[in-house]
Amino acid sequence: MHNTEFLIRQKRLLEKMQPNSICLVQASNLVTRSRDTEYPFRQDSYFQYLCAFPEPEAWLVLSNHQDYSKELCVLFCLDKDPAMEIWHGRRFGPKQAKQQYPVDRAYALDELDEQLLDLIDGHQHVYFAQGHDHDADDLVFSLLQALRDAPKQSKHAPSSLIDVRIILDEMRLIKSAREIDLMRKAAAVATQAHIRAMQFVEAGKNEYHLEAEIHHEFAMQGAKYPAYSTIVGAGDNACILHYTENNQGLKSGDLVLIDAGCEWQGYASDITRTFPVSGAFSNEQKQLYELVLNAQLAAFNVIKPDNTIKQASDVVIAVITQGLIDLGILKGKLTDNIERQTYRQFYMHGLSHWLGLDVHDVGNYKIDGQDRPLKTGMVLTVEPGIYIAPDADVDSKWCGIGIRIEDNLLITQSGHENLTLAAPKTISDIEALMSKKSG
Ligand code: GLY
Ligand code: MN
Ligand code: MN
């Protein structure tokens, strides 16, 4: 993404902060996986959003202090170090970082404590995501204390510490045209991966084979990492919402539920498809599948500006509950069942969440206690499901069927655009695709 986009974001943040404020944002740090090895590095989403500098341990400092002739953005990053770089990889170092990233100044990390003390001095407010990282908290609190302890005429300590996430979360909730392009790409790559899994599935293979096919497609298209742990649940495993063992055999007659999305330049997709291992749905699977799909399509009708997620969620609850009554899985009247929430035995999660740099992206769902109306530029998932546990107290023909269908929707002026529309999901489209594979 071009640096202009980041400069616009920095400027908007500085405008939304109180006058005479400084903002401190810390990059992610490496996390040990086992002795001497780390989990793959993933940049902190706020840091990514503001400058996209791709290294660990860095700090970004933004000020709108009246004394700066223009607003100021400073990066602290690891210094160049040939010996360390031979072992651990290339570093930009401050000089090159300043040339390539949207910052006014860059310093080596060794200078952080001293420079930060001077930078914070004289500001009225500090914006910072306190509580996220103990070491970062310790550093910021100790600098504030040092300013308070300094002789009164030499230093001026800020009087308030404000959570910067309150501003950044609202900014991140509405996606720009460039962010939407990246999310379209993340959606397109994940769509191809789901198609690949549908074409590859076969009784006798294992859930991890499907996981590997999904990750293969991500990587071959340049999306190196999944946005979250891929879920491949066959048979009963589809009823475990966050199943990630992915190590059981695939049996003909079972459905397999795949919840998988990739990251494209930090932006997530989040798709779920459920399909039969054999390529053909059984009668019971068909009936429940149609119900979930109808519920999702009914929700789509109300996903548009000024409506709320709650409205869509209520529509889904009504469709699923009525459907479960019609199938004899729930008994009694619709209104009683909805009031008693009996559907929750079989549909126990929410319908939707924001999607963006984080798969469960930031942004409040309520404003002043009221459900927040949808606005152009928001991106959210719509993911109804029905999960009949293997030991559920219903006719055994339904037991062990788990189905979820999840798409990613962008709110547009006229309604919404389904970014993941190309991932097959009608029974006929899925069966047609799967029969091509075997034929
Ligand atoms: N993949 C996580 C979710 O669907 O929310
Ligand atoms: Mn989701
Ligand atoms: Mn998902």
For 244-278, how does the pLDDT look when each residue is reduced to its tens digit (9 = 90+)?
A: 999 999 999 999 999 999 999 999 999 999 999 99
Confidence bin at 69 (pLDDT 50/70/90): low
> Could you tell me if the CB of 44 is within 6 A of ligand 1?
no
Distance CA 330, CA 343 (A): 8
Question: Does residue 65 belong to any structural domain of this protein?
Answer: yes
Question: Does residue 49 belong to any structural domain of this protein?
Answer: yes
Of the listed ranges 149-163, 164-178, 277-291, the one predicted with least confidence: 149-163
For 24-48, how does the pLDDT look when each residue is reduced to its tens digit (9 = 90+)?
A: 999 999 999 999 999 999 999 999 9
- Same domain, yes or no, for 122 and 235? no
pTM reported for the whole predicted model: 0.96
Question: Does residue 395 belong to any structural domain of this protein?
Answer: yes
Question: Does residue 99 belong to any structural domain of this protein?
Answer: yes
- Same domain, yes or no, for 130 and 197? no
Catalytic residue, candidates 207, 383, 407, 431: 383
* Known active-site residue 391: no
For 204-259, how does the pLDDT look when each residue is reduced to its tens digit (9 = 90+)?
A: 999 999 999 999 999 999 999 999 999 999 999 999 999 999 999 999 999 999 99
Average pLDDT over residues 413-427: 98
- According to the model, what pLDDT value does residue 438 have? 47
Catalytic residue, candidates 207, 236, 406, 431: 406
Residue 208: give its domain's CATH number.
3.90.230.10
Average pLDDT over residues 363-388: 98
Q: How remote is the CA of residue 236 from the centroid of ligand 1, in Å? A: 18
- Residue where a domain terminates, one of 149, 171, 193: 171
- Same domain, yes or no, for 325 and 350? yes
Q: Is the pLDDT of residue 68 over 80?
A: no
Question: What's the domain count of the chain?
Answer: 2
- Residue where a domain terminates, one of 147, 171, 195: 171
Q: How remote is the CA of residue 211 from the centroid of ligand 2, in Å? A: 17
Q: Is the pLDDT of residue 153 over 90?
A: no
Question: Does residue 439 belong to any structural domain of this protein?
Answer: no
**Which protein residue has the closest C-alpha to ligand 1 atom 4?**
270
* Known active-site residue 259: yes
- Same domain, yes or no, for 130 and 7? yes
Question: Does residue 244 belong to any structural domain of this protein?
Answer: yes
Bridge partner residues of 59 (DSSP): 26, 76
Question: Does residue 53 belong to any structural domain of this protein?
Answer: yes
For 281-301, how does the pLDDT look when each residue is reduced to its tens digit (9 = 90+)?
A: 999 999 999 999 999 999 999
* Known active-site residue 178: no
Q: Is the pLDDT of residue 386 over 70?
A: yes
Rg (CA), the chain: 25
- Same domain, yes or no, for 178 and 104? no
Average pLDDT over residues 379-408: 98
Question: What residue numbers bound the domain in which 148 lies?
Answer: 3-171
* Known active-site residue 270: yes
Confidence bin at 71 (pLDDT 50/70/90): confident
Distance CA 381, CA 365 (A): 13
- According to the model, what pLDDT value does residue 67 have? 79
For 321-369, how does the pLDDT look when each residue is reduced to its tens digit (9 = 90+)?
A: 999 999 999 999 999 999 999 999 999 999 999 999 999 999 999 999 9
Percent of the chain beyond pLDDT 90?
95
Residue 119: give its domain's CATH number.
3.40.350.10
- Same domain, yes or no, for 162 and 183? no
* Known active-site residue 132: no
- Same domain, yes or no, for 180 and 266? yes
- According to the model, what pLDDT value does residue 439 have? 43
Q: How far is CA 55 from CA 28, 39, 58, 76, 267, in A?
A: 8, 14, 7, 11, 17
The string over 424-438, giving b where at least 16 C-beta atoms fall within 10 Å of a residue's C-beta and e elsewhere, is bbebeebbeebeeee
- Residue where a domain terminates, one of 139, 171, 203: 171
- Same domain, yes or no, for 101 and 218? no
Confidence bin at 70 (pLDDT 50/70/90): low
* Known active-site residue 314: no
Q: Which atom of ligand 1 is nearest to the CA of 270?
A: 1
Both tokens of residue 161? Answer: 């510490």
CB count in 10 Å sphere of residue 152: 8
Confidence bin at 437 (pLDDT 50/70/90): low
Residue 380: closest CA among 320, 302, 315: 302
- Same domain, yes or no, for 227 and 163? no
Q: Which of 257, 359, 365, 382 to mutate to test the pocket of ligand 1 (most atoms within 8 A of CB)?
A: 359
Q: How remote is the CA of residue 218 from the centroid of ligand 3, in Å? A: 16
- Same domain, yes or no, for 214 and 152? no
Question: Does residue 50 belong to any structural domain of this protein?
Answer: yes
- Same domain, yes or no, for 132 and 196? no
- According to the model, what pLDDT value does residue 278 have? 97
Q: Which atom of ligand 1 is nearest to the CA of 406?
A: 4
- Same domain, yes or no, for 50 and 95? yes
- According to the model, what pLDDT value does residue 223 have? 98
> Could you tell me if the CB of 47 is within 6 A of ligand 1?
no
